[in-house]
Amino acid sequence: MAILIVDDSPDQHLLLRSILSKAGYADIVAVDSARAAFTTLNLDDEQSPTTVDLILMDVLMPEIDGVDACRRIKQKEHLRDIPVIMVTVKNDLACLKEAFSAGAMDYINKPVNGVELLARVASALTLKFEMDCRKEREAELRRSNDKLQRALKEVKVLRGLIPMCASCKKIRNDGGFWQQLEEYLGEHSEAEFSHGLCQLCIKKLYPGVYQD
């Protein structure tokens, strides 16, 4: 699962990458600004899905800080489920409240403790995996429901006892009224009718026209 590190400090890149790599995380991408992160995530291109599963976001960065970057990411439907962990030297309540309001799921204090980092990363990736599985199940359910709805539109079956006049062949509907057979079938099925005359009726109605 891919982890994106967003921090303007090269030393922080090396530290986080080292801790994560030693723990077996091989797919790690590091960028030095929020704008570079937006490019990596395909922020403005919802048709190009991202491969990132977790973001480690520094709070104090030039131009666009981590909280604002997190907020912009969470505003995008295709990126909303990616967990964001803020990495910060600021641990006052106001800062943390702002980060959580922007959509961050957790935070880690600098200097980073390796054990704490790995525990929070593992927890976030487990959550992401479960969310992906849930979304896939929901998508499969929608696909199955769509197939069922299409099938129901194509199949309309008449069942039960249908009263029919033995002489004129009209059908008595649920309201007690007699209807022409084709009218009744048209209302209770997807069938369409074209009218013509069979050979026996032509002989009966126009005996001088039909030749054997």
Regarding whether 66 and 162 lie in a shared domain, the answer is: no
Please write the tens of the pLDDT for every residue from 130-184: 988 998 898 888 888 888 877 766 555 667 778 888 888 888 887 888 988 888 8
Supply the pLDDT for residue 186.
78
> Which of 96, 120, 148 marks a domain boundary?
148
pLDDT at 191 over 90: no
Please write the tens of the pLDDT for every residue from 18-73: 999 999 999 999 999 999 999 999 998 877 778 899 999 999 999 999 999 999 99
Q: Which domain holds residue 40?
A: 2-148
Supply the pLDDT for residue 171.
85
Regarding whether 126 and 42 lie in a shared domain, the answer is: yes
Regarding whether 50 and 136 lie in a shared domain, the answer is: yes
Token pair, residue 15, equals 């530290």
Look at the chain and count its residues. 212
Question: What's the structural domain count of the chain?
Answer: 2
Regarding whether 161 and 58 lie in a shared domain, the answer is: no
Token pair, residue 17, equals 């990458």
Regarding whether 136 and 117 lie in a shared domain, the answer is: yes
Regarding whether 64 and 41 lie in a shared domain, the answer is: yes
Q: What angle do CA 200, 203, 207 make, to 5 degrees?
A: 170
Regarding whether 172 and 97 lie in a shared domain, the answer is: no
Contact 42, 50 (CB under 8 A): yes
Regarding whether 131 and 166 lie in a shared domain, the answer is: no
Contact 54, 83 (CB under 8 A): yes
